[in-house]
Amino acid sequence: MSSNGVQFLNVPQLAEMLGVKKRTVYEWVAQAAKTKIPIERAGGSLRFRLDRILQWTEERGRQSESA
């Protein structure tokens, strides 16, 4: 999905990209205050901006390296 040059992913696409189960993505969303996963809701659907997800995964990688 793309809107104004911004690429959006849905839950199955995000799960595939990150190599996790869809359930894991839903768990991250349920714990968004803790996981800080960048979520956008559109008409009751969850969407994820690709650029923000890439930044989020990079930040998570840095946090696990410093732990």
Residue 16 neighbours by CB distance under 10 Å: 13
Which token pair is 34? 């803790």
Condensed to tens digits (0 to 9), the pLDDT of residues 5-56 reads 889 999 999 999 999 999 999 999 999 999 999 999 888 899 999 999 999 9
What pLDDT score was predicted for residue 5?
Answer: 86
For 30-50, b where at least 16 C-beta lie within 10 A, e where not — what string? eeeeeeebebeeeeeebbbbb
What pLDDT score was predicted for residue 2?
Answer: 58
* pLDDT band per the 50, 70, 90 thresholds, residue 3: low
Classify domain 2-66 by CATH number: 1.10.10
Structural domain boundaries of the chain? 2-66
